[in-house]
């Protein structure tokens, strides 16, 4: 009897998982199609141009494009035609450490990372690009090499939804080093994290020299400011360290807010100095407007 209940529970869990994946797919495909597909294409150009065909020379054509071999064979002037070598690979590098489980409002950081990853994956799929996934904590937890196709994207979504990492700490450099040594060709790399770590700047700079690297920083309102209340018992999810603040003291609350604001300003300054393209998202608001603005900014740069 217990075995039958276990099987039923397993089947219910599988059905629930499939329903979640389906909901995420429907929502993300719609956003990718209606909002971001064109922007994604414009923001990430192909790696170069490749020869596609020839046609007869027309007045005004650049003489440097004349195909002399074809012209000599056909006794007419012909020019070479080129198209953008569009196919690229998108790699989603997703932080799964304990701090990403935090969310003081409707969504956790992990849930925001999932939604953004899904929209990016379906945008890449609609542009015929490959999509891959790397999930990390203080080590690489899961790695799915980039491939094409809807089924492959659904495999990635399933992994993101059901991921239960073995470790709680964060080591961003370990993930970036893995990417650097396994992905030799230029790719689009999105790092989705709350940056609860240190000493990751060198890894980002090295990756940014070879790849199209973008940092997606995800934060919660309580990361920046605490509410005025009674005593606040704060626990750091990755280390277990605890801190008690007097939530009724405006001075302590303002000090916390001031320190956090300074931290975020310094972070933005460092990223600009390193020329790292960055997108800052919060768990308490929709990411759609921010992602759209980011793509428009990228399009102007390309």
| Percent composition of the chain: helix, strand, coil (DSSP 3-state, to 5) | 50, 25, 30
Topology given in CATH for the domain delimited by 89-301 = Rossmann fold (3.40.50)
Cα(139)–Cα(38) distance, integer angstroms: 35
pLDDT in tens, 64-83: 788 888 888 888 888 887 65
Cα(295)–Cα(290) distance, integer angstroms: 9
Average pLDDT value for residue range 209-218: 94
Tokens 């002037």, located at residue? 77
CATH 3.40.50.410 in the chain: give the residue spans.
89-301
Q: Token digits for 26?
A: 């429907």
Kindly state the percentage of the chain with pLDDT values over 90.
44
Per-residue b or e along 60-89, where b marks 16 or more CB atoms closer than 10 Å to that residue's CB: eeeeeebbeebbeeeeebbbbeeeeeeebb
Give the residue among 56, 14, 156 at the shortest CA–CA distance from 6.
14
pLDDT of residue 162: 86
Q: What is the largest CA-CA distance in the chain?
A: 89
Average pLDDT value for residue range 34-48: 69
Give the residue among 94, 62, 43, 67 at the shortest CA–CA distance from 218.
94
In this prediction the pTM is: 0.80
Q: Are 81 and 62 in contact (CB under 8 A)?
A: no
- CA geometry: angle 284, 136, 205, nearest 5 deg: 85
pLDDT in tens, 101-139: 988 878 999 999 999 999 999 999 988 899 999 999 999
Give the residue among 110, 114, 126 at the shortest CA–CA distance from 35.
126
Tokens 């199209």, located at residue? 212
Of 265 and 47, more confident: 265
Task: Give strand pairing partners of 200.
Answer: none
DSSP for 15-63, written as a single string: HHHHHHHHHHHHHHHHHIIIIIHHHHHHHS--S-EEEEEEEE--TT--G
């Amino acid at each position: 009897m217990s075995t039958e209940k276990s099987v039923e529970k397993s089947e219910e869990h599988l059905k629930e998982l499939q329903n979640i994946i389906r909901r995420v797919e429907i929502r993300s495909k719609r956003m990718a199609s209606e909002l971001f597909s064109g922007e994604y294409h414009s923001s990430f150009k192909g790696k170069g141009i490749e020869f596609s065909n020839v046609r007869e020379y027309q007045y005004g054509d650049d003489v440097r494009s004349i195909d002399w071999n074809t012209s000599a064979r056909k006794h007419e002037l012909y020019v070479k035609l080129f198209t953008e070598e569009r196919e690229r690979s998108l790699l989603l590098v997703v932080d799964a450490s304990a701090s990403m489980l935090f969310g003081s409002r409707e969504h956790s950081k992990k849930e925001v990372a999932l939604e953004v990853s899904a929209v990016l994956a379906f945008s890449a799929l609609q542009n015929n690009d490959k999509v891959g996934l790397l999930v990390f904590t203080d080590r690489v937890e899961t790695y799915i090499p980039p491939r094409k196709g809807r089924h492959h994207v659904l495999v990635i979504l399933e992994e993101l939804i059901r991921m239960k990492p073995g470790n709680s700490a964060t080591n961003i450099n370990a993930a970036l080093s893995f990417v650097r040594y396994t992905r030799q060709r230029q790719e689009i790399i999105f790092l989705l994290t709350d940056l609860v770590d240190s000493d990751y700047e060198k890894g980002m700079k090295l990756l940014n020299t070879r790849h199209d690297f973008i940092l997606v920083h995800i934060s919660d309102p309580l990361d920046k400011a605490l509410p005025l209340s009674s005593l606040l018992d704060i626990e750091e999810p990755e280390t277990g360290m605890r801190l008690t603040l007097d939530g009724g003291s405006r001075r302590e609350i303002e000090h916390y807010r001031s320190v956090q604001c300074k931290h975020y300003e310094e972070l933005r300054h460092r990223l600009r100095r390193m020329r790292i393209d960055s997108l800052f998202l919060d768990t308490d608001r929709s990411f759609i407007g921010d992602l759209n603005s980011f793509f428009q900014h990228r399009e102007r740069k390309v």
